Amino acid sequence: MAVVSGPPPYPDTRVAQPRPGQAVGFFTDSSICIGCKACEVACKEWNHVPTDGFNFLGSSYDNTGELGANTWRHVTFAERPAAPGGGDGQMRWLMNSDVCKHCASAACLEVCPTGALMRTEFATVVVQEDVCNGCGYCVPACPFGVIDRREEDGRAFKCTLCYDRLKGGMQPACAQACPTQSIQFGPIEELRTRARRRLEQLRQEGRKEARLYGVDGSDNEVGGLHAFFLLMDEPGVYRLPTRPATTTRDLPAMWKAAAAAAGALAAGVLLAFAGKGR
């Protein structure tokens, strides 16, 4: 059963070619994802991402599982009741191609102690593989569970938003391969306009469950996502956290608490000597 019927949502195929210095990203419209996984395959092919195992997960048509060091695009398959409430027993798939969000305020980048994680001239977040020493700090810092360490290699890996292709004036491999325009690449501002227009269109068709995720900073505390989504159900259904936050936003409070505790430690030692030296 098709999630969406009616006229093609994006008749104007071409998104403007980004200039260096211009923020780019992905808009992933899950309402027209058909779950073909061409994005997963194209990503692996182009980026030489190693296999993530030949696993049967028993989880609908999803044998990829989740994003990780060797999975930079992941199509989720959520089996949900076709009608809200699920009265007639009919099921439908909610499919969505998940990816690194290239957060405006990126925790992985901020906690990286070597500077291996950097912000590119396209405002994307990339690991410099010649610098990363595999300290692993980015892994638990990411609020989306995206970046991970490739154990046989020792370094951290994630989506680069095809930095090499961007430099060559091409769009990322996943967006190029997507047969339905579910994955759209382009300048962030243009994608935001497209996303809002698309939401409006779906709402007019009566699809009240449609919603945008991460299009700006209003539903998250990571300053907005540079890869945002149009979803047809709660974010949790797609393995997306409800209100993701950049851990470093609390860093002043953390350093303050550590300084106070350091003071308490020094005071404690002085107290242990109170009055007598032995």
Partner 1 sequence: MSSSQGPFLKAPVWKPEIGAYLFSGGLAGASAVLAFVARSRGNHRLARRALLTAAAGAAVSPPLLISDLGRPERFHHMLRVFKVTSPMSVGTWLLSGFGAAIGVAAASEVLGVLRPVGLAAEGAAALLGPGLATYTAVLLTDTAVPAWHQAHRELPFVFAGSAAASAGAAAAILTPAEAAGPARRLAVLGAVGELAAAAAMKRRLGALAQPYEREPVRRLDRMAQSLSITGAAILGLLGRRRPAAALGGALVLAGSICQRFAIFRAGFDSARPR
Q: Which residues bind partner 1 (CB under 8 A)?
A: 66, 68, 107, 110-116, 131-137, 139-149, 151, 153-156, 234, 236-237, 239-242, 245, 247-248, 250-251, 253-255, 257-266, 268-273, 276-278
Least gap, CB of 171 to partner 1 (angstroms): 27
Reduced 3-state DSSP string for 75-120: EEEEEEECCCCCCCCCEEEEEEEEECCCCCCCHHHHHCCCCCEEEC
Report the C-alpha gap between 107 and 249 in whole angstroms. Answer: 9
Residue where the block lists tokens 């020094």: 266
Q: How far is the CB of 152 from partner 1 (least distance, A)?
A: 10
Please state whether beta strands 91-99 and 117-119 pair in parallel, antiparallel, or not at all (unpaired).
unpaired
| CB 262, min distance to partner 1, A | 4
Q: Which is nearer to partner 1, 66 or 121 (CB)?
A: 66
Residues 214 and 224: beta-carbon distance below 8 Å: yes
Which C-beta is closer to partner 1: that of 40 or that of 148?
Answer: 148
Closest approach, Cβ 84 to partner 1, in A, equals 14
**CB neighbours (10 Å) of residue 6?**
9
Shortest Å, Cβ 170 to partner 1: 30
Q: Which is nearer to partner 1, 39 or 107 (CB)?
A: 107
- 101: number of Cβ within 10 Å: 27
**CA–CA separation, 84 vs 81, rounded Å?**
7
66/190 with CB nearer partner 1: 66
**Amino acid (one-letter) located at 185:** F
Q: Shortest Cβ distance from residue 276 to partner 1 (Å)?
A: 7
Quick one: 64 or 181, whose CB is closer to partner 1?
64
Question: How far, in Å, CA of 196 to CA of 207, rounded?
Answer: 14
CB of 30 or CB of 184, closer to partner 1: 30
Q: Do 114 and 269 meet the contact criterion of CB atoms below 8 Å apart?
A: no
Q: What CA–CA distance (Å, rounded) separates 56 from 195?
A: 34
